[in-house]
Chain A
Amino acid sequence: MIAIVDYRAGNLTSVKLAFEALDCPALITSSPDEIRAAARVVFPGVGAAKSAMENLRSMGLADAVREAAATKPFLGICLGMQILFEYSEEDGGVDLLGILPGRVRRFPSVPGCKVPQIGWNEIEANDPRGFVQTHDEYYFVHSYYAEVNPCTVATAGYAGVEFSAAVRKGDLFACQFHPEKSGKLGLRLLRSFVHAPSSEGRA
């Protein structure tokens, strides 16, 4: 079973519908036990980092998410990717989960570049497991970005910044864009996630 973590950070309907389109039933859950029991965990999210972190703590989900990120196929999406890093400059500064090395920053003000970035952007990719490819185009909606870091497996450019479009650490894959809203390429990525063997199962 795939667990979609519900920590009151945005609407999860389209994530669930995308997995249903792949004939992979997914459970939207706020239960740490169900997250622990799931074979795969999806960690979505839109909105503000500070309230998302507060929700994760007050709902008792932070440890279950950390555990899942370290032990099983794990997919972070948008804010669910950003929260995996150490620190965000959003709202005057927020400490994040610290699962991945690096910081989350706001796009600078650049003439002609609206913030948030809304729309389809093209990536350059180097993912050892091939979830994403160079020249893929995905749908982004964000005002903050994760800096390029040792876990970066795909980058994109906006407002004069090259940022992490996707990151990987073992079985953990996380993307700034929305695969559930990125047409057939997005579905391809979700299918890769659903079918990816976990490292634990390997020799």
Chain B
Amino acid sequence: MLKKRVIPCLDVRQGRVTKGVKFKNNIDLGDPVELAVRYSDNGADELVFYDITASAEGRPIDIGMVAAVARAIRIPFAVGGGIANIADMERVILAGAEKISVNSLAVRNPQIIAEGAAAFGRQCVVLGMDPVKSAKCPCGYEVTTRGFRERTGMDAVEWAKRAVDLGAGEIVVNSVDADGTRTGFELEITRKIADAVGVPVVASGGAGCPEHLRDAFLEAHADAAIVAGILHTGEYTIPQIKSALDAAGIPVRMRWC
């Protein structure tokens, strides 16, 4: 039976992993490679790295970091932030990342999804999206870009379906309302998207306890869930989260040693 994935997320700022609340108040958490190894050894099913300052600083993603992570761990990882074109994607893939996550870039240039899928396979192309509640859109959620700063007028579910048609192999649904606040995932829009598309959907933003992941899997039909703050601060370990999910009857990978 396919397992539900637990995916630690590492926000990288100037070569260090940081964690902010609602994309602000960043604190230093350590070296990306060290944290990647620790989480991998402790049962992470996959990792995701966001180079959160690359776009703002107008520089490409830190390929040296991607290559160092690829050398250090033997589980899949995705990389996002600072991807501007197909050449950037190729550098990330050749450095050893399994997947590339595109978000604002795909809104500006949806064809990048098709180009990435054609060049590397759909499984490599992840669409990240930042929906916010909005009465203007039929599904009740509107896509935003640039870290929730700009509204697009695009319906979140329609965008997800279009991205999959273009070639996205997976969709990460972020929530600004929940990110860093640990009040749980945004279940409603995650479920709407998970039920609307035929590719895996990853719930992201807001995990405060194992029950939140359980809800993402059972109520929002997510295939994977991202955790960040509660791991980074040591409040929970991955084995604790997975044991709780296992006890709740959710299939998770329990043997990693």
Contacts and interface: CB of A to CB of B under 8 A. Distances in A.
Q: Do A and B bind each other?
A: yes
Nearest to A112: B221
B223 A183 contact: no
Contacts of A137: 3, 253, 255
Interface in B72-89: 74-76
Main secondary structure of the interface of A (DSSP, over half): mixed
Interface of A: 10-11, 13-14, 17-18, 20-21, 46-47, 109, 112-122, 135-137, 139-141, 157-158, 178, 180-187
A11 B74 contact: no
A37 B71 CA distance: 27
A47 to B, nearest CB: 5
Contacts of B71: 17, 20-21
B40 interface: yes
B96 A119 contact: no
Contacts of B199: 114-116
Contacts, number: 92
Given A112-B221, A115-B198, A122-B1, A183 B123 contact: no
B45 interface: yes
A120 B2 contact: yes
Contacts of A118: 123, 169-170, 200, 223
A184 B121 contact: no
A184 B257 contact: yes
Contact of A119 (B5, B93, B94): B5
B98 interface: yes
A13 B40 contact: no
B235 to A, nearest CB: 24
A119 B3 contact: yes
A184 B2 contact: no
A130 B29 CA distance: 41
30 contacts: A11-B96, A11-B120, A13-B94, A14-B96, A14-B98, A17-B70, A17-B71, A21-B71, A47-B121, A109-B198, A114-B198, A114-B200, A114-B201, A116-B122, A116-B169, A117-B2, A118-B170, A119-B2, A119-B3, A119-B4, A119-B5, A119-B223, A120-B3, A120-B253, A122-B1, A181-B75, A182-B74, A183-B74, A183-B75, A185-B255
